[in-house]
Amino acid sequence: MPTHLDIQSFPTTSDFGFSGGRDNFRAFCRRVFRAKEPRFLRTPENQLVVFRHADLLLFGTAPEIGNLPIGSMYPNRFKKGAGSERPPGWEVGEVIGSQVFTFNPPLHGPARRMLLNWLGPKQVSQMEGLARAVARKVIGRMRNGETIDLVETVADAVVVGFWGKLLHLTDEETATIGRCAHDMTRLFHANRSQEDLRVLDQAFAEYARLLDLAATRGLERGDPAMLEIAARLKELDFPDDPHEVGLVPKSVGAVLAGNLVDGFHTAALAAANTFHALLQNPEALATVRSAPETLPRAIAEALRLEPPVLTLSRYVLRDFHFDDLILPAGNKITMIWAAGNHDPSVFSEPERFDMSRPQAGLTTFGSGIHICPGRYAGVMLTRVMLEEFANQAVEFRNAEAPAEWIPDHFMNQLRVFPALVSRVGPSR
């Protein structure tokens, strides 16, 4: 006879020392994987926490487990009798409500296909020339012997510059978007303050305004991608349901704003984290430099070791039956996707950089129908940056000052990453 999962019986994440942030996460994994029990954890708010590789795949591929609806993120906003006031966090909700990660069936499938028609593997491969031109310009400005911040000077500059060019933004608009993306980091603080919410609202409002402008500009110029999104948007004929299905985006600009938060912010994290993993593993970096064909495997292993996203939330759409247990509908779930990559039952010596590992089963970008649709663009941008360093005969190595990771954070994010630049030969 199946029994209901007793979430309150599990230890909390804080019992195992996890409060967010990369260094804290590493210590948590070492501790929690030393024992076969517990199978699950819980948050201090009694939400189920899934962290073991097998369970991440089980929950991540189950049709009963969906995205966290916008109405669950902002319950006061959608309750009956809600007033017209705009409390702190309002502008963030305006943008996130158009993100595919807040959609569930029947809206989720067609909305996701709309995105992949723009950012699928074939489409992203056609954007590579633009990415390469931006990376070449950024790296070309570096001087021999100077110390740079690989986060701001390279990863952020190339990623923001790429999207700016793709979306027909001016240099000034692109710079503004870059500042907004920087401020979006506060969204992932484990404990957001009122000042965080104020900064976030300001950043998200300006970010949304500029992406709406970019959409309008693209449509006026006949940009094929913008026209395609507009056409597919008309097919999303679903009633708004903030408490389960989601809210249909009201414009192309809303689609761009909602779904490029990861494009501007998380893609830059992926690049910076890859640089960091390679610099901490000089043998792997030397292999990549001598055998460029190994670069895709090196990026995959770097992002296994240093995945940008630590945790994401999920939602139980229908009672979930598994292993003679029942998880009732309406429960929120915290999925520690990054822990799947550090589960020693799947990845032996998980903190060791090993390009020969099988890549099957990586949880870097999630799993199942909710796997990140922007992963092709993020990996392409990272690869292009590393290839352009090689093409311009520019190498980087750790500077005297150490890299700093943001603590108490739900992303695996570097605050600063000092590196010393060396020009070792003529550009190719």
As a whole number of angstroms, the distance between CA 163 and CA 217 comes to 14
Rounded to two decimals, the pTM is: 0.95
Is there a contact between 231 and 271 (Cβ–Cβ < 8 Å)? no
What are the distances in angstroms from CA 382 to CA 56, 173, 269, 385? Answer: 26, 23, 10, 5
- Measured CA to CA in angstroms, residue 268 lies from 189, 353, 413 at distances of 17, 21, 10
Q: In this structure, what DSSP letter does residue 315 have?
A: E
Token pair recorded at residue 106: 């029947």
State the pLDDT at residue 79: 75
Q: How far apart are CA 307 and CA 299, in angstroms?
A: 11
Q: Cα–Cα distance between 238 and 276 in angstroms, integer? A: 44
**Residue 333 zone, left/alpha/beta (φ > 0; ψ -120 to 50; rest):** beta
What is the reported pLDDT for 424? 87
Look at residues 163, 187, 194, 188 and name the one whose alpha carbon lies nearest to residue 176.
Answer: 163
Specify the pLDDT at position 76.
82
Per-residue pLDDT tens listing for the chain (428 residues): 789 999 999 999 999 999 999 989 999 999 999 988 899 999 999 999 999 999 999 999 999 999 999 999 998 888 776 667 788 899 999 999 999 999 999 999 999 999 999 999 999 999 999 999 999 999 999 999 999 999 999 999 999 999 999 999 999 999 999 999 999 999 999 999 999 999 999 999 999 999 999 999 999 999 999 999 999 999 999 999 999 999 999 999 999 999 999 999 999 999 999 999 999 999 999 999 999 999 999 999 999 999 999 999 999 999 999 999 999 999 999 999 999 999 999 999 999 999 999 888 999 999 989 999 999 999 999 999 999 999 999 999 999 999 999 999 999 999 999 999 999 877 77
- Superfamily grouping for domain 3-423: Cytochrome P450 (1.10.630.10)
How many angstroms separate the CA atoms of 149 and 404, rounded? 11
Omega before residue 106 within 30° of 0, cis: yes
Domain ranges of the chain: 3-423
222 CB contacts (<8 Å, ≥6 apart)?
Answer: none
